[in-house]
Amino acid sequence: MLTICAISLFFISCENNIIYKSSITYESGWHKDSTAVFEVIFADTAQVMDFILTFSHRDEYRFCNLWLFTSVENFEYQTLHKDTLELIMSYPDGRWFGKKKGENLEISTYFKHAVKMAHPGKYKFEFQQGMRVDNLEQINKVYFKIISR
């Protein structure tokens, strides 16, 4: 009984730490021209946060990785951050990282860890798939979550 209470409190406290949570669904796959855009308003510049990306894909995804082009703009449309990231999605033997959710697999990664925003206001986070194929048919959802630490 004590274990169940401790686990329940852990999940409740994690849910209370969520500052922002949204997702974009791709019915026909994630096309290179379909940028995942998330707009977030920050009021507290003293708060330390983690930015987490989660990708949902089917087992038939034919690559072991995912290249991403990332960008963060502030409310004055100034680019604050632009980068290219690689997410390794499987072990060398082909087994997937992440967890199974129904027919899909989900893999999460930190986009930014222990961040404080310099100024309050609206920020735009953009994520674009950077693979060498136009459409990643097996990627069907991109989640973006911000949690306080």
Q: What's the CATH architecture for 20-148?
A: Sandwich (2.60)
Q: Using CA atoms of 42, 10, 24, 45 in order, give the dihedral in degrees to the nearest 10.
A: 10
**Structure token pair of residue 65:** 């990785």
Q: Where are the domains of the chain?
A: 20-148
Looking at residue 77, its pLDDT comes to 84
Per-residue pLDDT of the chain (149 residues; tens, 9 = 90+): 433 434 434 444 456 799 999 999 999 999 999 999 999 999 999 999 999 999 999 999 999 999 999 999 998 889 999 999 999 999 999 999 999 999 999 999 999 999 999 999 999 999 999 999 999 999 999 999 999 99
pTM (2 decimals)? 0.87
